[in-house]
A and B are shown apart, each in its own frame.
Chain A
């Protein structure tokens, strides 16, 4: 449906936020999911509590929740999350700002493809964690190193998916735009990009997942802040509830970012929704 919004300003913001939470949290409050989820949570709470599972290895839900509250108050959990996310977004922004245009140009032009594609084909199979030692030598331990590692993780999936989407653009659309007199730049902006839009969003979702992996790997190699650091400390002191809190937070962050991307897709690719 082509929706036309009459509302403007702050009410529009609330409307969009409402739409976002309806789309993202809606899945959780479905009857089907709750019939699975509530028993699972109850099992998690009561199996360790009744001693069916060893309490020391698998702490119950309430223990983990209490630990979360404790970390929030005494371990500056919010600060660690903000720190990790700040670096994550820096890396994500740089990677997307580079990978999407390069992918666009590589898909658009054979000559640019011939120059660049083999380079990425050689570099991309190197597993991102293999970059860690070199990165530590060049950037030392700190923000720069973390950002670079996440960048490596996000860059290639975004680049290749964008490139593939652009390359597969239906030549019929190009032909019809060309007959009307579209310049190459207009083709890129109005035809190639929108044709590849689905795969670009898909690539960003893969990028989020890879970025979180590299976030953990980077932070486990050093630094004094971030969720990965908290997780590493929990491992060193063998505090299982803390590990679980960190895992849950990472899961939530990944879920939230992907929901944001989904919502962006729904909002921008309206023509797909009606289908």
Chain B
């Protein structure tokens, strides 16, 4: 279970006059995601949903509030008083608060993350990319031997249809294949939670549908396990959000906060042209439409 309690993220940015300016990216977002659910964060660009996801992953510290995954806190919040700031700075003098450790490979939480631009390492072949993740994740716990790792990496690549190209570098793969490689890398470590930041934004429509179905298939396979897989996905594609998720969390910009939470109580597999699905889509579209109209009236 992921619990986010009143997450606020504040940045100082430099405006066009060269002055420092406050920017509230996320304001007071609370969200609980139960085990085994697919939740999408939907909203226009710049509404703080990606920032929220990065806070979930522990890649940014929230200004206020805290994230707990199965009851364990992800990152301590940033200091607010001067005294706290000094202590914080002293504690993280030599090593960033995000770091896992200096020499010991050890993930803080059982999370895998997929980025919009894939973030597969261009200097490793497909199989090396998967092996890298496997080696890191298994460093402390049950140590897989090199042969076992290779076997598991091959299996994961074959699972997403990359068995033929395991020795190619990402630069030699197409966009869709790179995305599938990122997916294979994330799945190989058998995480509790997969966080995805607009994972299918950069692939063509046909590949996207295929990848969505692959994802659902893999998710369904993991539902029988003791701790079912959670998927949290950021997207701005309404159809994708409704098709995939159990709950759509609609964000609104300036400052980023939750506007609506729309449950999608439909059985899987869902046909893409299901009227019930279309109805929920229309509802979300009309929400956005309403916001746009309100805004234009206001500005006139």
Contacts and interface: CB of A to CB of B under 8 A. Distances in A.
Interface of A: 2, 4, 109, 111-112, 172-173, 175-186, 190-191, 194-195, 197, 269-272, 274-275
Nearest to A270: B169
Contact of A180 (B102, B107, B125): B107
Contact of A111 (B57, B94, B103): B94
Q: Give 7 nearest A-B pairs by CB, closest first.
A: A181-B107, A176-B119, A2-B167, A271-B169, A194-B123, A172-B119, A179-B113
A176 B146 CA distance: 22
B100 A181 contact: yes
Contact of B112 (A112, A175, A180): A180
Contacts of A183: 99-106
B104 A179 contact: no
B132 interface: yes
A99 B196 CA distance: 39
B59 A178 contact: yes
Given A2-B167, A183-B102, A175 B113 contact: yes
Given A2-B125, A2-B169, A181-B106, A111 B93 contact: yes
B121 A180 contact: no
Contacts of A191: 121
Query: Helix, strand, loop or mixed for chain A's interface?
Result: helix
Given A176-B113, A190-B132, A270-B169, A182 B119 contact: no
Query: Helix, strand, loop or mixed for chain B's interface?
Result: loop
Given A2-B168, A180-B107, A172 B117 contact: yes
Given A175-B113, A178-B99, 11 more contacts: A2-B168, A2-B169, A173-B119, A176-B113, A179-B58, A180-B107, A184-B102, A194-B121, A269-B123, A271-B124, A271-B169
Contacts of A180: 107, 112, 132-133, 136-137, 189
21 contacts: A172-B115, A175-B115, A177-B132, A179-B57, A179-B111, A180-B107, A180-B136, A181-B105, A181-B108, A181-B136, A181-B137, A182-B105, A182-B136, A183-B101, A183-B105, A184-B95, A184-B100, A184-B103, A185-B102, A185-B103, A271-B123
Contacts of B125: 2, 271
Interface of B: 54, 57-59, 93-95, 98-108, 111-113, 115, 117, 119-125, 132-133, 136-137, 139, 167-172, 189
A109 B59 contact: no
A109 B98 CA distance: 13
A183 B189 CA distance: 17
Contacts of B136: 177, 180-182, 186
Contacts of A269: 123
B140 to A, nearest CB: 8
A197 B139 CA distance: 26
A181 B117 CA distance: 20
Nearest to A275: B171
Nearest to B102: A184
Interface hub of A109, A183, A194 (most chain B Cβ within 10 A): A183
A179 B107 contact: yes
Interface hub of A180, A197, A271 (most chain B Cβ within 10 A): A180
A275 B121 CA distance: 14
A193 B199 CA distance: 27
A16 B137 CA distance: 36
A182 B171 contact: no
Given A181-B139, A182-B100, A183-B103, A175 B119 contact: yes
Nearest to B165: A2
B169 A274 contact: yes
B12 to A, nearest CB: 18
Contacts of A4: 167
A176 B59 CA distance: 9
B61 to A, nearest CB: 13
Given A172-B115, A183-B105, A271-B169, A178 B100 contact: yes
A197 B58 CA distance: 28
Nearest to A109: B94
B207 to A, nearest CB: 21
